[in-house]
Structure 1
Amino acid sequence: MTDTPLWTPRAERADASHLAAFTRLMRAKSGQALPEYPSLWRLSVEKPALFWGAVWDYTGLIGDRQGPALAGSGRFLETRFFPEATLNYAENLLAAPDTRLAIRFLQETGDETTLTRAGLSALVSRLQQAMREAGVKAGDRVAGLVANQPETIAAMLATASLGAIWTSCSTDFGVDGCVERFGQTTPKLLFCSDSVLYGGKRVELAARAADIAARLPSLARVVVLPCAGDAAEAAAHIAGAVPLDAFIAPFAAASPAFTRVPFDHPLFILYSSGTTGAPKCIVHGHGGTLLQHLKEHQLHADLHAGDTLFYYTTCGWMMWNWLASALASGATLMCYEGSPFAEHGQRLWRWAEHAGCTHFGTSARYLDALAQSGLAPREHWPLSRLRVLMSTGSPLSAERFGWVYRHIKADLNLASISGGTDIVSCFALGNPTLPVWAGELQCAGLGMAIDVVDDAGHSVTGSKGELVCRRPFPSMPVGFWNDPGQARYRKAYFSRFAGLWAHGDYAEQTRHGGLVIHGRSDAVLNPGGVRIGTAEIYRQLDGVGEVLESIAIGQKWHGDERVVLFVRLRAGAKLDDALVHRIRTQIREGASPRHVPSRIVAVGDLPRTLSGKLVELAVKNVVHGEAVANVGALANPEALALFRDLPELSI
């Protein structure tokens, strides 16, 4: 880490931010000076009722706000936010149905369509009426095997408007993966896109949807959305299915009706990756999701009405839900369906320039691949409106931070953010008033009482430990679906430390007030009893051009553990003695001798989840001859065979 920030906001930009305006509001409400961000953060976690009430007011959340902002004992499972309030998530996203653009939709072919806020509202109205006619009511589940397209957002909003519950998988999920999830949540209605394009190939979805529907006895109907093919033709291959046009044909557009529900009324069911067993069905509520997203969009991302937000995501990742919520802040959404490397990687950046993108969101893995491709967006496009670039999914290395400022844009708030499906939001994220330091998440989120603790649960500074949260927050799950007595919920987050939410990240607080994520706790290496985060090794490989991606595991070895590094190499590269020496030298000099792997092995592929995350635990299980709990959660399960009985690991 250097002593010079990579970026510092200009004073006029910081002063014009939502966060600066909100700080002025909190000074008036609290009577405190709040001279810098840490003092505002402390107030937000020490006086949560005052803070979250102010967020409601500042963001203009629509609803019936009655009673206290907070009730209960202060313990996680005994605390309720706005227990007497009612609201509807969809009502907030569909406010002001005017001629402003709500959604820009681009497919891999380069074809773009747009939908105004009035057009989106009209489509939601017709869907709402059709769904009600189909028997959907408050509390019912509506599922989607869907592309990231405007009709999907409309279907989700129609579901939410009725008080029903939306749950979705991305179009790369197989039949078993969908049934494993939807079979637990028993949806009444299934939306399915007709087909998608990815990497120049058309993927038809009708046969998959037909198999899924046949295995879900709860379904009353399947509705096929037009995307990259012919919805009517696709529907003809699914028993009892109808294309979207036929589904909504009997109903004229009107102003949607919104059922206002309690703050904790279920809105979304999201799914854990399922790599250690059956996926957890995580239920999130209307109020907690909306309030948290409004806070993150406006106060941390500095998203204003009229801004344009892109996030590269699928409908099986929580960032899709996060993206959709930006409609409540008056932003235009950029929804993309296809490979991010279409047109040799230029497609997304050309579109960002054309659409006037102000906020560009992606994954650390994408930025790594972009750097390896040699494309430097700033050489082709000025990206004059782009103010914020967000990265999540895995830790973004310090080296990649520097690359972004050199090759994308110099005047940019680079926000590495971290949270997850469990909270449908972030624990740590960006800040428009603070500098950006290489490798660091800028700050803890307002209202999120995060800490880093040792194995005994004691706070640690200047060293690595477990990321925890000490106090309740609105976007905690309402619960898990079909979890009597909240047994699975308690085990997932509260079994490690009494009274603390354990998030499962291995982290470190920095002297700048930021955070570094060193990897998942369950993947931490422990050679010689010293804990090492896998991200500490991965970031050292950024400078090794031959290595495309890697996985590090701890192999049991003679009563201890040794570090084994698996690398996937660029085409034409060879893992010879010279490359092995260079990798080890880079890791030794950039990290420490303890980080240097005992064995480095080249493999043809690395296993990843359906959302694209590399799966260290699955590799570790195969290496040790143990069963992988849920192979169906992997996008490429055939890759596991590459790690079985490797001769390099027997010496």
Structure 2
Amino acid sequence: ASIGAVWSSCSPDFGEQGVLDRFGQIEPVVFIAPDGYWYNGKAIEVADKVKAVAAKLATVRKVLIVDYLGTSTDVAATIDKADALEAALSSFAVKPVAFEGLPFSHPLYILFSSGTTGIPKCIVHSAGGTLIQHVKEERLHAGLLDGDRFFYFTTCGWMMWNWLVSGLASGATLLLYDGSPFYPDGNALFDFADAEKMTYFGTSAKFIDSVRKAGLEPIKTHDLSTVRTISSTGSPLSPEDFRFVYDGIKKDVHLASISGGTDIVSCFVLGVPIEPVWTGEIQGAGLGLAVDVWNDDGRPVRQEKGELVCAKAFPAMPIGFWNDPEDKKYRAAYFERFDNVWCHGDFAEWTAHGGMIIHGRSDATLNPGGVRIGTAEIYNQVEQMPEILEALCIGQDFDNDVRVVLFVRLAAGVKLDEDLEKRIRAKIRTGASPRHVPARIVAITDIPRTKSGKITELAVRDVVHGRAIKNKEALANPEALELFRNLPQLAD
């Protein structure tokens, strides 16, 4: 950033094509990669993948190998234009960083859309917009103070990594964790928080739900007295998991559910430290952002579901997409739904308390009988049941309408019999509405996810309808998609 360079990253567990789908579009000149990484206690070597990727990035002038498994020198020797990072830096003396004077809108980051419906979009964010937005969020919404110990469980391919890096601007010490959060067991991150006196604990809704379902109670087993804030994002945090944070992790903590995205490298709605936390709700809109919920006619609505919009320009808007000279793809992505108004693609609702509930992505919204239903409303009900580990819901085109199909991953030893189906439907009917009750319930053994842990409803919907999946490289477990193909339960 100090010299005006543009940075982009993805996770080392991406396959070769997944890396090339991203970096191949942006023509990098320096390619930095590790010699491997650790997961579930195992060393995963990536030398062959790094060599193959580097050979296909024609613009690269230097490859730097970070020593992670102790083999960087050996790996660098096998790759053209490569050096081990430490060797490359060894001839340079340490000196103060000199910052170039550059425009506010100078590019800083290129982030990538998930890529589950095609080649990833290259979203370019400005240095000024990113910095001012992050400092606002972290100082004022997250309450970050000089000397805090700031943690977010994230890969370097998720925007929360960029958000975490900006904690340095507030004088915080960054706490980094690499590998599985459940190795050797679900206490790993709480052990880390206890040992390093963590003050801000950032994670995903999925992690909190997994801790609850594993029967863990960190409130009884760990000293989390330094933790002031627990933050959750990635998907909507269920009311059950809101309660679990206070009952099972820490009673006197600010639980900040936050939501925004790669598109703005920040948040539209997030924690408000001076306001109460209401179960199942995100506390409020980001300062200085004209966030609202509009109906299909473009009118603001309260306590009614609609599209999440930002009605005025804001600093963290992308400065455009890479290789999109007339901004056609950029405008199509955000400004076509409502003329010249940012439409984020989330199905949302203002609450009576002035907070917000995100009901899921608009493009994954169910529409049986012409009534729009958010998938999160169904998950919030069924995932309370001990028999169900997790769920995924889609709308299936059927008989000139759309019917709701619910896929469930069951706990060990549980079978989806007539009794369980009946109880699932009753739970959804009473906890949500009769409209939410699925027409079909199907048991599956795995649910496909992106690298950052988000379930991929759209990819499953495409498989069910026999459509091609364009970019399986974006998924952490692409083989899971085959579980949804040609299911007899969905044939009639």
TM bucket by the smaller chain? Answer: over 0.9
Which residue number in structure 1 is paired with residue 355 of structure 2? 514
CA distance in 2, matches of 1:641, 1:504: 27
CA distance in 2, matches of 1:310, 1:210: 32
Q: Does 1:535 align with 2:376?
A: yes
Shift of 1:242: 0.8
SS of equivalent to 1:597: coil
Which residue number in structure 1 is paired with residue 209 of structure 2? 368
Q: Which of 96, 100, 113 is the aligned partner of 1:255?
A: 96
Equivalent pair of 1:195/1:229 in contact (CA under 8 Å): no
CA distance in 1, matches of 2:299, 2:70: 56
- Cα offsets for 1:138-160 (capped at 9, x unmatched): xxxxxxxxxxxxxxxxxxxxxx1
Which residue number in structure 2 is paired with residue 210 of structure 1? 51
Which residue number in structure 2 is paired with residue 572 of structure 1? 413
Q: Which of 458, 462, 466 is the aligned partner of 2:307?
A: 466
Q: Which of 181, 185, 209 is the aligned partner of 2:26?
A: 185
Which residue number in structure 1 is paired with residue 343 of structure 2? 502
- Cα offsets for 1:479-524 (capped at 9, x unmatched): 1101011111100000111121000000000110100000000000
What is the TM-score normalised by the length of structure 2?
0.99
Distance 1:164 1:646, change over 3 A: same
Matching residue's letter, 1:167? S
Which residue number in structure 1 is paired with residue 269 of structure 2? 428
Which residue number in structure 2 is paired with residue 310 of structure 1? 151
Equivalent pair of 1:207/1:237 in contact (CA under 8 Å): no
Which residue number in structure 1 is paired with residue 167 of structure 2? 326
SS of equivalent to 2:435: helix
Q: Does 1:612 align with 2:486?
A: no
Shift of 1:377: 0.7
Which residue number in structure 1 is paired with residue 197 of structure 2? 356
Matching residue's letter, 1:567? V
Shift of 1:343: 2.7
Shift of 1:542: 2.6
CA distance in 2, matches of 1:546, 1:229: 44
What is the TM-score normalised by the length of structure 1?
0.75
Equivalent pair of 1:210/1:238 in contact (CA under 8 Å): yes
Equivalent pair of 2:14/2:473 in contact (CA under 8 Å): no
| Unmatched tracts of structure 1, length 5 or more | 1-159
Shift of 1:207: 0.9
CA distance in 2, matches of 1:536, 1:641: 26
Identity within the alignment, %: 58
Shift of 1:183: 0.6
- Cα offsets for 1:289-344 (capped at 9, x unmatched): 00000000011000000111110001000000000000000111001111101231
Equivalent pair of 1:196/1:229 in contact (CA under 8 Å): no
Matching residue's letter, 2:133? Q
Which residue number in structure 2 is paired with residue 268 of structure 1? 109
Distance 1:229 1:583, change over 3 A: farther
Within 5 A, what are the aligned runs for 1:45-124? Answer: none
CA distance in 2, matches of 1:543, 1:493: 34
Which residue number in structure 1 is paired with residue 397 of structure 2? 556
CA distance in 1, matches of 2:386, 2:25: 44
- Cα offsets for 1:203-235 (capped at 9, x unmatched): 111111101001110111110111233221222
Shift of 1:161: 1.3
Q: Does 1:438 align with 2:279?
A: yes
Within 5 A, what are the aligned runs for 1:326-345? Answer: 326-345=167-186
Which residue number in structure 2 is paired with residue 481 of structure 1? 322
Q: Does 1:640 align with 2:481?
A: yes
Shift of 1:633: 1.9
Shift of 1:575: 1.1
CA distance in 2, matches of 1:323, 1:626: 37
Matching residue's letter, 1:352? A
CA distance in 2, matches of 1:377, 1:532: 35
Shift of 1:252: 1.1
Equivalent pair of 2:109/2:124 in contact (CA under 8 Å): yes
- Cα offsets for 1:410-453 (capped at 9, x unmatched): 11110000000000000000011000000000011101101101
Equivalent pair of 1:282/1:480 in contact (CA under 8 Å): yes
CA RMSD of aligned residues (A): 1.0
CA distance in 1, matches of 2:226, 2:479: 43
| Unmatched tracts of structure 2, length 5 or more | none
Equivalent pair of 1:608/1:636 in contact (CA under 8 Å): yes
Once the two structures are overlaid, the 10-residue window that deviates more, 397-406 or 627-636, is 627-636
CA distance in 2, matches of 1:347, 1:277: 35
Bigger helix share? 1
Which residue number in structure 2 is paired with residue 394 of structure 1? 235
Shift of 1:581: 1.4
